[in-house]
């Protein structure tokens, strides 16, 4: 077969990033938007680790950046899910287009 | 060995792409979350093939376990969808999104394809004096060297990251915790 090089990982990462971007634009469920943002962060992580493996295995900067991106992404996801739950409590809907039924009593 | 490398790469790349596309376009949000977890686990396995064992283990533990439980909790709290299922936005925005994303993907591929010669096999030959460290990374993994780098050169960002995580915990507990009237 072929020899796996850096450019294959870069193509894979570009495709994954574009799928995440498409999901952010297209989908109507707020949870799916958050999942798509995580796809984009994972694509960036693949780029970092691939560059670190093929060019910079001495200083390992790509690995450390990947750890930071991972921690910040999970923090962002947790806060986003908390906001999602708050929005659901207020409006009884998780529609990203904002078409929800106005409740009489805000519980 | 070369066949094995390319076969593993192709299998996990196909799993990543198919599961991410299915997660974006699945009709039910439960299928979407399960497919996203498959995608995260495949990314973790791909990290393992890049001789990044610490990052791969972190990815599998954080995304494959923690994030999936968080998403399951979010589904549990938000309950069922509203009567009309939330799938895609209006067709005009879907069409414009496809156009934008395909343009962006072609621009990305246009920029990354001529940069790197596919025959280049890394730049290890220029690290002659560090051959011992590369050999020990191949043998014992990267965790030792990552720890040394973090606690020597990246101490301040690491501590700021811990502050950010603490603020995230407090903020999530404040936002999503039960309402004050019930107490």
What total number of domains does chain A contain? 1
Across A51-65, A71-85, B112-126, least confident range: B112-126
Q: What is the CATH number of the domain that holds A56?
A: 1.10.287.3510
pLDDT of residue B128: 56
> A98 lies in a domain?
no
Residue by residue, pLDDT tens for chain B (183 residues) are: 778 888 999 999 999 999 999 999 888 888 999 999 999 999 999 999 888 889 999 999 999 999 999 999 888 888 765 555 667 777 888 889 999 999 999 999 888 877 655 555 544 445 555 667 777 777 777 888 888 889 998 999 999 999 999 999 999 988 887 665 554
Q: For residue A55, what are its two tokens?
A: 């060019």
Give how far B172 is from chain A: nearest CA, Å: 6
pLDDT of residue A52: 87
Break chain B into its structural domains and give their ranges: 1-80, 141-178
- Select from B7, B20, B113 the Cβ nearest to the Cβ of A19: B20
> A104 lies in a domain?
no
Torsion angle of alpha carbons A63, A65, A67, A69, nearest 10°? -140
Contacts of residue A79, defined as CB under 8 A and 6 or more positions apart, other chains included, come to: B168, B171, B172, B175
Q: What is the extent of the structural domain holding A85?
A: 6-91
A14 contacts in B (CB within 8 Å)? 105, 108-109, 112
Interface of A with B in 15-54 (CB under 8 A): 15-23, 25-29, 31-32, 35-36, 38-39, 42, 45-46, 49-50, 52-54
> A105 lies in a domain?
no
> A101 lies in a domain?
no
> A102 lies in a domain?
no
Which CATH fold would you assign to the domain B1-80?
A: 1.20.120
Residue of A7, A19, A88 to mutate when probing chain B, most B C-beta within 10 A: A19
């Amino acid at each position: 077969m072929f020899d796996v090089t850096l450019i294959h990982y870069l193509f894979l990462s570009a495709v994954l990033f574009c799928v995440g971007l498409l999901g952010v634009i297209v989908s109507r469920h707020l949870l799916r938007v958050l999942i798509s943002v995580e796809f984009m962060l994972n694509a960036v992580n693949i780029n970092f680790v691939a560059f670190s493996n093929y060019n910079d295995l001495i200083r390992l900067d790509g690995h450390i950046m990947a750890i930071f991106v991972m921690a910040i992404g999970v923090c962002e996801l947790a806060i986003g899910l908390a906001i999602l739950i708050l929005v659901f409590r207020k409006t009884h809907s998780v529609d990203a287009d904002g078409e929800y039924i106005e409740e009489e009593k805000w519980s | 060995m070369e066949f094995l490398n390319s076969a593993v790469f192709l299998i996990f790349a196909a799993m990543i792409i198919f599961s991410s596309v299915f997660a974006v376009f699945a009709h039910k949000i439960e299928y979407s979350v399960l497919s996203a977890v498959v995608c995260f686990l495949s990314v973790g396995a791909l990290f393992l093939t890049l001789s990044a064992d610490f990052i791969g283990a972190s990815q599998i533990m954080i995304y494959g376990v923690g994030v999936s439980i968080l998403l399951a909790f979010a589904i549990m709290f938000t309950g069922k969808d509203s009567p009309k299922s939330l799938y895609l936005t209006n067709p005009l925005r879907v069409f414009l999104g496809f156009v934008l994303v395909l343009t962006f993907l072609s621009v990305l591929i246009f920029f990354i394809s001529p940069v790197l010669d596919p025959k280049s096999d890394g730049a290890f030959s220029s690290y002659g004096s560090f051959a011992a460290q590369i050999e020990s990374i191949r043998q014992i993994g990267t965790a030792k060297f990552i720890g040394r780098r973090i606690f020597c050169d990246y101490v301040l960002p690491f501590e700021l990251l811990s502050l950010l995580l603490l603020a995230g915990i407090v903020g999530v507990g404040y936002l999503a915790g039960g309402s004050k009237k019930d107490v």
